[in-house]
Amino acid sequence: METDTVQPDLYEFIFKRKSVRKYDPAPLDAKTLTEIKDFFKNAKPLYDNIKAEMIVVPKNDVTVMLPVISPQYLVISSENKEGYLANAGFLMQQIDLFLSSIGIGCCYMGMAQPKKELRKNLNLEFVIIMAIGKPAEPLHRKRISEFQRKPLSAITNMSDANDLVESVHLAPSASNGQPWFLTGTQNQINFYCVISSFLKAIVYEKFNKISIGIALCHLKLAAEHAGKTVEIVTDEVAGKNHPKDYYYVCTVVLK
């Protein structure tokens, strides 16, 4: 399917965004919250047949199992359809970059859960929580070298499309695992996801799929910044020629 344009002004924040773990305890003001909600309403999904919702809740409505305490959280829920986790990641990464662009910190909270009463009141299936707030630490990285990522050779065998691959290289992922592998050319990039062992899959299978959506968001932003249009397709040949220990996700066609 062909997806609409992701907001191009977010591209530059791929190279300086970071997960913020220390927050001012004061909640965000109503104007800022409205701006965030409006942005989400206009964010472009990866798959436009999947309904997703976002609400803002106070810290008392979620159970946080990591030492990242913010005054408010975004709770994302979705229809449970094929591709819904990647779709959620694709939407959330637009929010991540948008927040970075307006001076608000955020952090994906994989181990956080909505409390029982909140979960009962969600219209759709709970997917993931994101901490948000005014940062009490530097919001942006000063240089690319501050990113801790695998070497490029661990995530791709491509020799061209360096700028596009670099955008995926810098994408955040669960436990910084970077579960993707890219093959193809500058005009057609095949996405694969690592096959987790049985025990790892219990924890990481869901989050790896969300991470793939995050990476696809970065790739789409980079491609459109370069003046290309983006189409997400299924390629049977790419599907059969998956790297060892990876499964095929999709192919990104760039024109």
Domain boundaries defined on the chain = 17-133, 144-254
Q: Which two tokens stand for residue 251?
A: 């192919």
The mean predicted confidence, pLDDT, of the chain is 93
The reported pLDDT for the residue numbered 1 is 46
253 band by pLDDT with thresholds 50, 70 and 90 = very high
Domain 144-254 has CATH 3.40.109.30: yes
The per-residue pLDDT for range 92-148, each reduced to its tens digit, is 999 999 999 999 999 999 989 999 999 999 999 999 999 999 999 999 999 999 999
pLDDT in tens, 62-95: 999 877 889 999 999 999 999 999 999 999 999 9
One fold for 17-133 and 144-254: yes
Task: Report how far residue 130's alpha carbon sits from residue 19's, in angstroms, rounded to the nearest whole number.
Answer: 10
Q: What percent of the chain has pLDDT over 70?
A: 96
Q: What is the rounded average pLDDT of the residues 2-17?
A: 73
163 pLDDT more than 90: no
Superfamily of domain 17-133: NADH Oxidase (3.40.109.10)
Please give the C-alpha separations between residue 124 and each of 71, 103, 200, in angstroms, as whole numbers. Answer: 24, 30, 26
C-alpha pair distances (Å), 164 with each of 145, 167, 179, 180: 18, 5, 17, 14
